[in-house]
Every structure is written in structure tokens, then in C-alpha cells.
Amino acid sequence: MHWLSHRLSVLPNTFLLAWGWQRRVLCVLCGALTALSLPPLEASFVLLLSFPGLVWLLDGALEPGSTWREKLRRGFAIGWMFGVGYFLAGLWWIGAAFLVEADRFAWLMPLAVLAMPLGLALFTGLGVALAALFWSDRFRRVLLLAACLTLADWVRGHVLTGFPWNSFGYGIARFEVLSQTASLVGLYGLSFLAVALASTPALLADVRPLGQRLKAVGSAVFVLCAMAVFGMVRLWQPAPPATDLDIRIVQPAIAQEDKWRPDLRDEIFQTLLDMSEAPLGGAARVGQKRLIVWPESAVPFLLTQEPGALFRIGKALGSSSELVTGAVRSEPGAVGTSYYNSVYVLGSDGTVQGIYDKVRLVPFGEYVPFKPLLETLGITNLAGPLEGFEAGYQPRVLSVSESFSFLPMICYEAIFPGLPGDAAGQPSFLLNVTNDAWFGQTPGPYQHFSQARLRAIETGLPLIRAANTGISAIIDGRGSVVARLGVFETGLIDGRLPQRIGNTLYSITGDLPVLIVSIILVVFASIRQYNRDSRKN
């Protein structure tokens, strides 16, 4: 038994006793290991190694008697280096976008690939620093760490324009039964549970009676089982019958370097028309009302300035179809022309029935923050017109086929949890058009798809997703994939729109419950810390 106990203590002691450069390396490695839980690998088991490692690193760095300044400094350093490893390993693929027009942007690739992880890791650093301030040797420290990292993730998703990409909850989202919990607590609640449950094995190394340690781990197993049971019950319930609206998703798989070539303009447009008119397949029904969906900025020109194009679209649609397509929209102004990344709804005669302008623009992709300063350094937006896009006024619900409505989400708008307040409870489905061709065969399109899928689970609304180069899909309100096309597959999806499940608890409460619980845990830890300090004095 002594030999076994010695063996089991080797791994924790490696982290607890690490110092200087060894601790820094372990921090970065734990963060990078955590990123392996994300798509496309989705090796969720690594969380049971990386988060206990983070707990042990904090245990070893926060010695008894440390001042609050030392706790903050050491906690921030550990959290920041963990975040650097996590975001560098999880977002390195962003560099692929800078190679599409390498003559203009290749020089920015190293800066972007390194600068983004360094910046995003500040939030992780602040979260771990807050946890370190009230750290203890008690079991509840794993709940404190989960609460602080959840709050940091929420702030990351809201500061400036927000960037909640690869929140920790996505590390367990591959498990369909576990991801159903997002219908109760949303992405950030899933992140809280992922961190808390994955950190619990660290408690086995505590210097406490074995029975107490097993009880703590058993509590985590109970929560995990409860999540699984809830997920199975939700998935086993009979699916509501499909609606009467047929869907055709067009995935043309046009390479980004070809997309805006003037000599290919007509060919690309004709490809979209031909695919829209192709014979029906899948679950499609002859003569049924149909919604055809093209990807983000599918049309390689200003759609409303080409009457001939609208006529050709109307002819291709016929009398029983409507079209939703992404397209660049222009609007003359007093100073100059403004451009918008938009979604159009076109009726069966090719007339415009509705427009949505993208509200959340991609920083440096579609617009340049601090534009006057950064343009002097040669930094411009990657996509769209040289002037950059203007942001739309607000999210809005659009109508199709008289009795159906949808909430449009263009590109990375699908990574933001929940529904905007004015859209809650209204749409029949979510619609995400995107163009991930910028990122080729990297993890980017897989991560983007995983995040869009979680929006369906959170809201109980089916998701229709049209991506230029994939992944396109029809997804029901429980996140189950009805049909999909892979990355760089050229093809069509013909199917029926799933019925909405109904309002989920999360669609009603939003992030407020998990924020309240996280704040209460931090306040409780601070009171306990104050009482301990008072007794010492």
C-alpha cells in the first residue's frame, strides 16, 4: 500500500514542487493539453489531467503566509501562462487567413497568431488571480476555480465586441448527453461544470482521510451522472414532427482565393443557380414550399445593383421557393459609400423581402479598431471592401414562407450564447450563413460548427447552417445533426425544417443564474479567507 501511495503521489508532486522555469513550462503545457479537448480531436479526457495540474500548480505556488499581492501576482502568472498555452494551441489556425492574400497580409501572420493568445490569456490570468486571492487547501477550491474562470470567460465574451470562442464548456460538448445541460445553464454554465468536474481528481492528492477524498470525488461523479441522465431523458423524448417547410442548403465549396476573382464572377453565380435547380434528393418533396439557403457573401457582386441577377434568381426559384443568401450590401452616404455584410430574403419572383445587416463584426477581419492609428502601420481588414464594413443596428427576426421566421446569424455571430432580448421566443429557427474558406482544412471550421450547434441546444431551436466550404447542416433543437456536408465537400442538403422544441430554461433565464452562483462562491471564499486571517491575528 505504501508503494502504491508513493506511485500515486509522483504526478501531483511534479506540479506541487515545480519552481521557476519548470512551473512556467508546466503551466503552458497544461493549457495546450486542455485545447486537445476541442474539435476536431475532441479528446475530452485530457481535461482530467490538465485542470488537476492547474490546481496542483496553484497549491504549490501559494504558500501559507503569502501576502495578497504575492497571491495575485503568482495566480495571474500561472493563469496567464495556462491561457497562452490554451489559446495558442486552440487558435493557431487563424494564421491560415493571412495566407489567402499572402502578398498583403502574410507579414501580419506571426503577430496575429501570437498576439491573440497573449491578449486572450489576460482574461484567464485575471480569473486565476481572483481564485488565488482566496485559495485554500479545502475541497471547495475547485468550485472557486470554476467560478473564477467562468466569470473570466463571461467577461471575455463581452469586453469590447466580445470573443467567447473556445470557452471551456466546449471541451465536453462532443458528448451529446452532457451537452444537453446547456439547455438549462447555457455555455457558461457548461464551462463551470466542465472546470469543476475535471478539477476534482486533484483532490485525491490532498492530505486528508481517504474517505473524505473519495466522498468529494463521488459528489463530482454524482453530478456527472445527473447531467448524463438529464441528457438521455431529453434525447429519448420523441422528436416533434418536422414542419411543412422543406430546406435546401447549397454548399458550393469555392476556394477563398477564387471567390472574388472578376473572371470567375459569372461562373460562381451560375454554379449557385445550377445547384439550386438541381433534382431533389434526401427528404425533399415535389411541389412543396421550399427555402433555399446560400452561404455568407455567396454572390460575388452587389446583388441589388444587378437587376439581371435578381431576375435570374427569380427564374431559378420558380413559384414554390424562396431564397436566403449572404451578400455584400452598399448604401450611399454623405461622406461615402457604406458597406454591410448582409443576409437577404428573396421571394419566388426575385424581389427582396427582408434584409439583415451583420451586427457583430470580426475585429481586423471586417473592420479595424482604432483605424486611423493602425492604418498608418499598414494594418487593414482582411475581408470585404478596403473601407471595411459598417455594423448593423441590431439583431432582427426575418420571415419566410408566411408562417416561419428565423434569427439570422452571420459567420461568427453564431459563437455568442443565447438569443438577443428582442428575439427571444419569436423565431421558428436559427439560420447561420458563413464562409470558413479562409481557414482551409484547419480546426477552425470544426470549432465553429461545434459552437453553432450548441446554440440550438441552448435555445431549443433548430439550426440551418450554410457554409461555403462546410460544415453545412440541418440540426434539431437538441443539437442532433439531421444532415451535414463535410469540409470542402461540394453538394446539397435536402431536408425538412425540424420543429422547435420550445423555450428552454436557459432561453428564459440567460446567464444570470450561473453568474449569481459564481459570484456567491467568490464572496463566500472571501469571507472564509477574512475569518481565517482574523483568527491568525
Q: Is 296 designated active site?
A: yes
Do residues 346 and 325 lie in contact, with contact meaning Cβ atoms separated by under 8 Å?
Answer: yes
DSSP β-ladder status, 321-332 and 290-293? parallel
The C-alpha cell 497544461 sits at 30
* Selection from 487, 486, 464, 466 nearest residue 474 by Cα: 464
CA distances from 192 to 180, 206, 223, 265 (A): 15, 22, 12, 47
Residue 17 backbone phi and psi in degrees, to 5: -100, 0
Instruction: Report how far residue 520's alpha carbon sits from residue 144's, in angstroms, rounded to the nearest whole number.
Output: 10
Instruction: Report how far residue 247's alpha carbon sits from residue 294's, in angstroms, rounded to the nearest whole number.
Output: 11
Instruction: Report how far residue 336's alpha carbon sits from residue 90's, in angstroms, rounded to the nearest whole number.
Output: 39
Question: What contacts 129, CB < 8 A, 6 or more positions away?
Answer: 71, 72, 73, 75, 76, 79
Instruction: Report how far residue 35's alpha carbon sits from residue 50's, in angstroms, rounded to the nearest whole number.
Output: 10
Element (H, E) at 295: none
**Secondary structure letter of residue 357 according to DSSP:** E
CA distances from 457 to 60, 173, 481, 501 (A): 39, 10, 11, 10
- The conformational region for residue 370 under phi > 0 = left, psi -120 to 50 = alpha, else beta, is left
Q: Is 458 designated active site?
A: no
CA 250 to chain centre: 23
Which entry of 358, 366, 390, 413 is annotated as an active-site residue? 358
Alpha helices in 241-306 (DSSP H): 256-259, 265-277
Instruction: Report how far residue 385's alpha carbon sits from residue 532's, in angstroms, rounded to the nearest whole number.
Output: 60
Which entry of 27, 30, 148, 411 is annotated as an active-site residue? 411
Radius of gyration of the chain (CA): 25
Which strands, in side-by-side order, build the sheet including 398-400?
398-400, 404-410, 429-434, 463-467, 472-475, 481-485
Instruction: Report how far residue 419's alpha carbon sits from residue 417's, in angstroms, rounded to the nearest whole number.
Output: 7
Which entry of 42, 71, 296, 322 is annotated as an active-site residue? 296
Q: Is 411 designated active site?
A: yes
Instruction: Report how far residue 211's alpha carbon sits from residue 224's, in angstroms, rounded to the nearest whole number.
Output: 20
* Selection from 19, 76, 89 nearest residue 50 by Cα: 89
Catalytic residues: 296, 358, 411
